[in-house]
Amino acid sequence: MIRYALPVLSLVVVSNAILQGTVDVKRLQGILEEGVKSKDVGALYFSLKGLTLLKAPLPDVCDDISKIKYDLGNIEQIFYLTNAAELSGCQNYLSPEVLRTPVATLDKKDASLADVYHAIYSMKALGKGTVYDREDSLKNLIQILKKDDTPANYAYVFALCEHMGCNAWTAMHAESALLAADETDSKMLHFDGGLPVTSLVLSTIFRVSLKFSVRDKFNKPVLLQQAFVRVAPLAGPEEAIYVAEPDNSKTYKVDLNVGAISKHLSHASGLYSVTLLLGDSAVAAPVSWQLADLALNFGRDAIALG
C-alpha cells in the first residue's frame, strides 16, 4: 500500500489536475505515518518521501535507520536506505560500507538503467559526487535505452538527466515517451509498469526547467536587469509571470510547476502561450519572445497543492 501511496501523491502534487478530488490527503498522511514504523527499508523510504511531499513533520527515525535490515548487495535497497537517511537527516547513522554498492554498480559494464539510477541517487543522498563527462554519459545512457526503450527506462534517463543537467534531451524526447502511454476506459492514460512508472515519467517531465542565456555582440554572457517568463491563455485576461534568476554561470533559470500555475489562471484548461520577456536600461524597449504554445488541462475545478 505504501509503495502505491507515494506515486499517487507525487502525481497530485506535480500535476494537480488528474487526481484532484479523488485523494483523501489526511487519510493518506495517516497511512504514511504508520509506514514509518515499518521494518521494511522500502516502506520506510516511501513513507518519509510521502510525508515530505505533504510537508508534514517527520519523526525521529535515526535510530531505526541505524538498525534496519537491508541487503548490502541490493542496489535498490541501498537506494531506499540512503534516501530515507537523507530525507530524515540521518546520514551520519549509516555504515560507511553502504557506499561500496553504488560504486560497484557504476563500475559494471552491463548495469541496467534502473541500477544506474539507484546508484547515482544513492551517492547523491550520501553527498558523494560522481566524475563524468555529461555528453559521454548521456550517449551511454541512450545506448542502453535503445536496447530496451520501455517507459520505465525513459523515466530513469529523464531522472538522470535532471541530475546531470541534460534536461534539453528530456524536453526533446518527452513527446515520444508520452506517446507510449496506454489508455484505460477512454478516460485516463498510464504507462506499462503501472502507477510507479507513470508517476516517475510524468514527475520528471513536469520538473524540466526552462533555461536560457543572454549574450552581447561579442558572444559573452551578460546580466539583464529584468527577465521574466509569462504564461497566458491565447484568449483571456489571466496570466502567470515568473521571475527568471541568473545562476553563477549567468544562465537564467525558472521552474514552472504545472500544478501551481493553475491557481493563477483560474484553473481554466485550454491553449496557453509561453513568452520570454527581457528588459534592460540598455535597450529601447523590452524584448518579447514567444517560446511555445501549450495545451494545458487542469481538470474541472482543480485546486493546486503546494
pTM more than 0.75: no
The 3-class secondary structure across 282-297, one letter per residue, is: CCCCCEEEEEEEEEEC
Task: Please tell me whether residue 189 adopts helix, strand or coil conformation.
Answer: strand
The whole-number pLDDT of residue 69 equals 95
Cβ–Cβ under 8 Å, residues 45 and 22: no
**Residue 278 has what pLDDT?**
84
Q: What is the pLDDT along the chain (306 residues), one digit of tens a residue?
A: 555 444 544 444 444 444 445 567 788 889 889 989 999 999 999 999 988 888 889 999 999 999 999 999 999 999 999 999 999 999 999 999 999 999 999 999 889 999 999 999 999 999 987 656 778 888 999 999 999 999 999 999 999 988 888 877 887 888 888 888 888 777 777 888 888 888 888 888 877 755 556 666 666 666 677 788 888 888 878 888 888 888 777 777 877 777 777 778 888 888 888 888 887 665 666 778 888 888 887 765 444 333
Q: Are 237 and 287 in contact (CB under 8 A)?
A: no
Domain boundary assignment for the chain: 132-208, 211-296
| DSSP codes, 42-96 | HHHHHHHHHHHHTTPPPP--HHHHHH----TT-HHHHHHHHHHHHHHT-GGGS-G
Which grid cell is 289?
519572445
Write down the H helix ranges in the chain: 2-15, 25-35, 41-53, 62-67, 75-88, 100-107, 113-125, 134-147, 151-164, 167-178, 195-206, 258-262
- Evaluate whether 238 touches 264 at the Cβ level (below 8 Å): yes
Angle at 52 between CA 50 and CA 55, to 5 degrees: 115
Question: Per this entry, what is the length of the chain?
Answer: 306
What phi and psi, each to the nearest 5 degrees, are found at residue 276? -95, 125
Q: What pLDDT score was predicted for residue 11?
A: 45
| DSSP character at residue 207 | T
Give the largest CA-CA distance in the chain: 65
The pLDDT score that the predictor gives to residue 130 is 67
